[in-house]
Amino acid sequence: MACIVDKVPISDGQFRLAVFGAGALLVVGITAVRFCGGVSLPPKPAAPTPASAGGVSSSGVHSSTSSPTVYQDFLAKDAAVAGVHAPTIEDMQKKLVTRVDEGRHVLDTGHRALAIAGLELTVVRDRGLLELDIANATGADIAYLVQTAPVPNISSCGSAPALPLNVMVLRKGERARRVECQYRDGMSIVATRVETVELPPLSVFYVANVPPTLVGIEDRIARAHRGPTTNEPCSTIVSQAVRSGLERGEIGWRDLVDFYARHRCQTYQFPASYRAFTADGQRDLPVVSSGM
């Protein structure tokens, strides 16, 4: 049975009014969804924590430098730069062979070479200068210390022309010549302390990069130092704690060299409590100060 629908006539004005009304309702609906709807945005990411940012401590040093994994990575990278075999942490924990002589030895141009603590020392007069010839007689690469005082010890000794040399390291069979003072008749040199420390290959690279003032070498000698050229030089600043320890004799040259033979000076600072190893594996590496 067919459904019959009555037709209701609508005027043009009524039709236009209906269209405008429907459009207005549509605009209101869209606006409500756009500005008043319940659509939520993803939560804002949390600010990075110190751990996710690389572990930077209050001292500005990455806390990760105390990690053995990071330390081993430094050993590998530095060994590649130095052109030597990369040691293990166990290799770096071995006790270093040392020699020391604390006797008082007078040297002048009339004496033969003095063999002492693995070195041969000879005084030479050259170009109006009193010079000390230092030869490595150990059969190994070494760090070395020769503490001397010219006699008479005149103030102008510190201004004598310096001969460039590596004040920190002598290679196997190597010799170096350093200026002690401007020469005067009757002048001699007194050696008061001589020390040597045998170094494995990467330790030679590490110690050679250390500024002499960091291990307590006096300015009269340190000013002649010429170490390897590097794009990452070490700081020359000595902490007050280390300076005081050196002055009181609580920290020695050997302690400082022992530390820097095991740690890159660009990253690690000498802790005032550190002392040279007296046995293999005596402590874990790296050794970091409490502020790192």
pTM: 0.77
With H, G, I as helix, E, B as strand and everything else as coil, classify residue 105.
Answer: strand
Per-residue pLDDT averaged across 11-17, rounded?
50
Residue 55 reports pLDDT greater than 50 = no
Per-residue pLDDT averaged across 69-74, rounded?
96
Per-residue pLDDT averaged across 125-142, rounded?
95
Task: Kindly report the backbone phi and psi dihedral angles of residue 166, in degrees, each rounded to the nearest multiple of 5, phi listed first.
Answer: -85, 105
Per-residue pLDDT averaged across 180-201, rounded?
94
Q: Say which range, 3-17, 89-103, 230-244, has the weakest mean pLDDT.
A: 3-17
pLDDT at position 157 is 86
What are the tokens at 181? 């003072």
pLDDT at position 23 is 54
pLDDT at position 72 is 97
What are the tokens at 93? 């924990």
pLDDT band at 11 (very low <50, low <70, confident <90, very high): low
The residue length of the chain stands at 292
Residue 95 reports pLDDT greater than 80 = yes
Contact between residue 169 and residue 141 where contact means Cβ atoms under 8 Å apart: yes
Residue 280 reports pLDDT greater than 70 = yes
pLDDT at position 207 is 97
Average pLDDT taken over every residue of the chain: 83
pLDDT at position 38 is 47
* DSSP 3-state percent helix, strand, coil across the chain (nearest 5): 30, 20, 50
**How is the chain split into domains, by residue range?**
63-260
Per-residue pLDDT averaged across 69-97, rounded?
97
Which one of 32-36, 195-199, 228-232 scores highest in mean pLDDT?
195-199
Per-residue pLDDT averaged across 241-250, rounded?
94
Q: Which residues contact 58 (CB under 8 A, 6 or more apart)?
A: none
